[in-house]
């Protein structure tokens, strides 16, 4: 049985903890936030524990501001950070959240030197890079959650359009988490049938465009960033690792030359198991797909340069 820590007890962090607890495969969850939000973390933990007799799970959950309580975690999910506020540039967000993510990582590593880190804080690809560099961990043990969420949005839109269950739609998206994400329609299937046989190019393009805008659409609707699907996506990664399933997911991973990309974290298909990223699949991309991925990596690289200038890791 295992121990999982979730850093940040806000919308996404509390959801990750709640989804994980209700799946009943973890012994203990620690939900940690900053001192001024300690009671909030305790409240979220208590609420989830009081759900246990109703939903029949035995996972215990503790809210705290003390990193000592996280000692010996098998997996740590980092959701700490600020959402982007009006008037805030992307660089401003990078500097605020990179400060948070690097200090959180330092504390996490101190108490759980063998853990696997899953980053959820945005801008995702840069924050994953920041956590990797700060931790000094091997690349298989630090990754980011974006691809499962982005593909889930894409699959949900397709399910609505085609009038079929989302369970029957399989898909992969690559690249950075944002407007430059790279959809790969030729790898999308509906019950094993290539999606391109079931939908017009025009409709598929519209769905891809909506997927790229997926986070912003929810921001407009609910006034802050989403949490149910992001929380469930991070929990699914934890499950694949803790249960050593192993699952194939798009994950933000550190690349060392795969797809011609070096020293950046971007979304690629991986196998997730007990060692974290067990393997990165290298697909034979077509020329235009390669170009889209290259452009996406260049956008991530610009943000990583802004992070490097902060000299935090
Ligand atoms: N250590 C621990 N927790 C922190 C720290 C820190 N140094 N700094 C901030 N936090 C906490 C906040 O106190 C807050 O409770 O992180 C939490 C973030 O919660 P929300 O503001 O509700 O944000 P949320 O919607 O959960 O998003 C968190 O995930 O999807 C991304 O873009 C999103 O970067 C954002 C992150």
> How many A from CA of 225 to the centre of ligand 1?
11
Q: Domains in the chain and their CATH numbers?
A: 3-144 (3.40.50.720), 147-308 (3.90.110.10)
Residue range 113-138: mean pLDDT, rounded:
97
Give, for ligand 1, the residue of 5, 30, 33 to mutate: max count of ligand atoms closer than 8 Å to Cβ. 33
Residue 307 predicted with pLDDT over 80: yes
- If one compares 87 and 221, the residue with the highest pLDDT of the two is 221
Residue 226 predicted with pLDDT over 90: yes
Q: What is the pTM (predicted TM-score) of this model?
A: 0.97
Distance CA 166, CA 272 (A): 22
Query: What pLDDT score does 302 carry?
Result: 95
80 close to 8: Cβ distance less than 8 angstroms: yes
Q: Is the CB of 9 under 6 A from ligand 1?
A: yes
Q: Residue 266: what are its φ and ψ, rounded to 5°?
A: -145, 165
> How many A from CA of 4 to the centre of ligand 1?
17
Give, for ligand 1, the residue of 6, 7, 9, 12 to mutate: max count of ligand atoms closer than 8 Å to Cβ. 12
Nearest-5° angle of CA 219, CA 104, CA 228?
Answer: 30
Rounded to the nearest angstrom, the gap between the alpha carbon of residue 42 and the centroid of all alpha carbons in its chain is 24
pLDDT digits (tens, 9 = 90+) for 237-281: 999 999 999 999 999 999 999 999 999 999 999 999 999 999 999
Residue range 208-231: mean pLDDT, rounded:
93
> How many A from CA of 8 to the centre of ligand 1?
5
CA-proximal residue: ligand 1, atom 32 (nearest): 122
Q: Is the CB of 12 under 6 A from ligand 1?
A: yes
Strand 173-174 to 28-32 pairing: unpaired
Nearest CA among 269, 264, 293 for reference residue 279: 269
Query: What pLDDT score does 86 carry?
Result: 67
CA-proximal residue: ligand 1, atom 2 (nearest): 33
Q: Is the CB of 275 under 6 A from ligand 1?
A: no
> How many A from CA of 272 to the centre of ligand 1?
25
Q: Is the CB of 215 under 6 A from ligand 1?
A: no
> How many A from CA of 197 to the centre of ligand 1?
42
Query: What pLDDT score does 313 carry?
Result: 86
Q: Is the CB of 100 under 6 A from ligand 1?
A: yes
pLDDT digits (tens, 9 = 90+) for 133-187: 999 999 999 999 999 999 999 999 999 999 999 999 999 999 999 889 998 999 9
Q: Residue 208: what are its φ and ψ, rounded to 5°?
A: -65, -40
Residue 201 predicted with pLDDT over 70: yes
pLDDT digits (tens, 9 = 90+) for 54-95: 999 999 999 999 999 999 999 999 999 987 776 677 778 899
CA-proximal residue: ligand 1, atom 31 (nearest): 121
Residue range 2-8: mean pLDDT, rounded:
98
Query: What pLDDT score does 178 carry?
Result: 84
Structure token pair of residue 250: 């798009």
Helices (H), 112-213: 124-135, 147-162, 201-212
CA-proximal residue: ligand 1, atom 22 (nearest): 10
Structure token pair of residue 114: 């063998």
Residue 199 predicted with pLDDT over 70: yes
């Amino acid at each position: 049985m295992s121990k999982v820590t979730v850093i940040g007890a806000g919308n996404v962090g509390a959801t990750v903890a709640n989804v994980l607890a209700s799946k009943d495969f973890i012994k203990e969850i620690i939900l940690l936030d900053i001192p001024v939000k300690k009671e909030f973390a305790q409240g979220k933990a208590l609420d989830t524990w009081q759900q246990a007799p109703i939903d029949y799970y035995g996972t215990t959950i503790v809210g705290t501001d003390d990193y000592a309580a996280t000692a010996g975690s098998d997996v740590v999910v980092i959701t700490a950070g600020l959402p982007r506020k009006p008037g805030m540039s992307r660089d401003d967000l990078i500097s605020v959240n990179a400060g948070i993510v690097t200090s959180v990582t330092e504390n996490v590593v101190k108490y759980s030197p063998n853990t696997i880190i899953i980053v959820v804080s945005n801008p995702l690809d840069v924050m994953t890079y920041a956590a990797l560099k700060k931790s000094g961990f091997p690349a298989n043990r630090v990754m980011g959650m974006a691809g499962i969420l982005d593909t889930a949005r894409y699959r949900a839109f397709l399910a609505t359009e085609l009038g079929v269950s989302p369970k029957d739609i399989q898909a992969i998206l690559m690249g950075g988490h944002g407007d430059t994400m790279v959809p790969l329609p030729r790898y999308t299937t509906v019950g094993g049938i290539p999606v391109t046989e079931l939908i017009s190019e025009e409709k598929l393009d519209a769905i891809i465009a909506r997927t790229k805008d997926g986070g912003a659409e929810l921001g407009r609707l609910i006034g802050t960033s989403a949490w149910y699907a992001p929380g469930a996506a991070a929990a699914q990664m934890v499950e694949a690792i803790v249960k050593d399933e192993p699952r194939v997911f798009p994950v933000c991973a550190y690349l060392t030359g795969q797809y011609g990309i070096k020293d950046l974290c971007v979304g690629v298909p991986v196998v997730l198991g007990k060692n974290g990223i067990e393997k990165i699949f290298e697909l034979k991309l077509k020329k235009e797909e390669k170009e889209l991925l290259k452009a996406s990596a260049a956008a991530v690289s610009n943000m990583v340069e802004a992070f490097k200038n902060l000299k935090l890791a």
